């Protein structure tokens, strides 16, 4: 666990920015966290080719830090949505998704108020052309551009996603799609 | 604040860019029109910030405000901003 006030990252294989409500999501979701002391080290870790996952608030922080494109804004219906979502795996060539079949439908829950992924048309085209859209919602719950639920960085080593794979790791939780996700990462290293 | 510095007060207005769907603005517009308060074609909801900036002159204060706006108060992907100096 690395505290937000720290300024260095120890030698690690994978950095995970988890969900939550950093700094109360004041100003904009993830905006103040993106300026916290550890973030310079996170940017350096990214520049050096480190693997990073941002889940929910972690994804919001990565967009605010400009490590990933676009922005996450309030859901179109202005409501907090906590619900299982059917997702389409649209790129299974990443470290994070190699255990899934391409175009497989998987089930992972979302739990957010600010999950509408906004991109300009030019950015959307760029992501599509370079196969950087990793997950899509089958039934868009929040108004995200292009039904996008997860995207990768240019070098495919950073993944940002609003759904919570860590909440889909046991049949008692309703789905084990998250297990495949985390096993992909372990197998891929 | 050092003895050579003066306090300058600013207001910063932030709104969503054109093309970013604003459901809050849309709901406000509908309420205005349904209640016959006016015939509003578009309504946007934004944010207002008030900043008191200590600086040696107005030019430096404006430079600071510009940086505060672009680096923290707004996200250029979704928002536009403008700021102006206000008297006490």
Give the pair of three-digit tokens for residue A123: 């950015």
pLDDT of residue A25: 87
Residues 6 or more apart in contact with residue B37 via CB below 8 angstroms:
none
Structural domain contains residue B73: yes
Q: What is the CATH number of the domain that holds B59?
A: 3.30.1280.10
> Which pLDDT tens digit goes with each residue over B64-75?
999 999 999 999
Q: Nearest CA of chain B to the CA of A88: how many Å?
A: 25
| Set of chain A residues whose Cβ sits within 8 Å of the Cβ of B48 | none
Q: What is the C-alpha separation between A71 and B80, in angstroms, rounded?
A: 14
| Predicted model pTM | 0.92
| Set of chain B residues whose Cβ sits within 8 Å of the Cβ of A31 | 72, 75
pLDDT of residue B87: 85
Q: What is the C-alpha separation between A169 and B84, in angstroms, rounded?
A: 52
Q: Report which of B28, B14, B18, B19 is spatially closest to residue A28, judged by C-alpha positions.
A: B14
> Which pLDDT tens digit goes with each residue over B12-25?
999 999 989 998 99
Q: Beta strand pairing status for A14-17 and A51-55? A: parallel
Quote the domain boundaries for residue B35.
6-86
Would you please indicate which residues of A are annotated as catalytic (active-site) residues?
56, 164, 166
Structural domain contains residue B28: yes
Contact between A57 and A20 (Cβ < 8 Å): yes
Q: What is the C-alpha separation between B8 and B61, in angstroms, rounded?
A: 7
Q: What is the C-alpha separation between B31 and A157, in angstroms, rounded?
A: 46
Q: Is A30 helix (H, G, I), strand (E, B) or coil?
A: coil
pLDDT of residue B4: 87
- Find the mean pLDDT for residues A61-79: 96
Does residue A63 sit at the B interface (CB-CB below 8 Å)? yes
Scored b (16 or more CB within 10 A) or e, B4-29 reads: eeeebebebebbbbeebebbebeeeb
Q: What is the mean pLDDT of chain A?
A: 96
Contact between B14 and B79 (Cβ < 8 Å): yes
Interface-testing mutation among B70, B75, B81, with chain A (most A C-beta atoms within 10 A): B75
Number of domains in chain B: 1
pLDDT range class, residue A24, cuts 50, 70, 90:
confident
The full set of domains in chain A, from first to last, is 14-188 (3.40.50.880)
Tens-binned pLDDT, residue by residue, of chain B (88 aa): 567 899 999 999 999 999 899 989 999 999 999 999 999 999 999 999 999 999 999 999 999 999 999 999 999 999 999 999 998 6
pLDDT of residue A145: 97
pLDDT of residue A118: 97
Query: Which sign does the torsion angle of CA A12, A13, A18, A23 carry?
Result: positive
- List Cα–Cα distances, B65 to A89, B46, B78, B85, in angstroms: 43, 18, 19, 10
pLDDT of residue B2: 63
- The three-state (H, E, C) secondary structure of B8-21, written as one string: EEEEEEEEECCCCC
> Which pLDDT tens digit goes with each residue over A74-90?
999 999 999 999 999 99
Q: What is the C-alpha separation between A99 and A2, in angstroms, rounded?
A: 28
Structural domain contains residue B64: yes
Q: Nearest CA of chain B to the CA of A71: how many Å?
A: 6
Structural domain contains residue B1: no
pLDDT range class, residue A138, cuts 50, 70, 90:
very high
pLDDT of residue A135: 98
Residue A18 has pLDDT above 80, yes or no: yes
Structural domain contains residue B79: yes
């Amino acid at each position: 666990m690395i505290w937000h006030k720290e300024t260095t990252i120890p030698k690690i294989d994978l950095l995970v920015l988890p969900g939550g409500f950093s700094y109360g999501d004041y100003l904009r979701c993830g905006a103040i966290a993106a300026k916290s002391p550890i973030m310079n080290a996170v940017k350096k870790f990214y520049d050096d080719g480190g693997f990073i996952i941002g889940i929910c608030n972690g994804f919001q922080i990565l967009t605010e830090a400009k490590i990933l494109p676009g922005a996450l804004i309030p859901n179109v219906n202005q409501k907090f949505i906590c619900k299982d979502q059917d997702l389409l795996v649209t790129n299974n060539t990443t470290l994070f998704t190699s255990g899934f079949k391409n175009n497989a439908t998987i089930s992972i829950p979302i739990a957010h108020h600010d999950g509408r992924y906004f991109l300009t048309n030019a950015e959307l085209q760029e992501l599509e052309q370079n196969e950087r859209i990793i997950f899509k919602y089958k039934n868009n719950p929040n108004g995200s551009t292009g039904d996008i639920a997860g995207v990768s960085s240019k070098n495919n080593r950073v993944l940002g996603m609003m759904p919570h794979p860590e909440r889909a790791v046991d049949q008692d939780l309703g789905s084990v799609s998250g297990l495949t996700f985390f096993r992909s990462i372990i197998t891929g290293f | 604040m050092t003895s050579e510095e003066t306090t300058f007060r600013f207001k910063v207005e932030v709104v969503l860019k054109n093309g970013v769907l604003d459901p809050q603005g849309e709901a406000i517009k509908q309420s205005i029109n349904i209640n016959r308060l006016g015939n509003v074609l578009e309504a946007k909801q934004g944010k207002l910030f008030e900043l008191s900036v200590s600086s040696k002159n107005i030019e430096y204060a404006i430079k600071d405000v510009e940086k505060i706006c672009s680096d923290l108060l707004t996200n250029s992907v979704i928002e536009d901003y403008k700021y102006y100096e206000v008297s006490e």
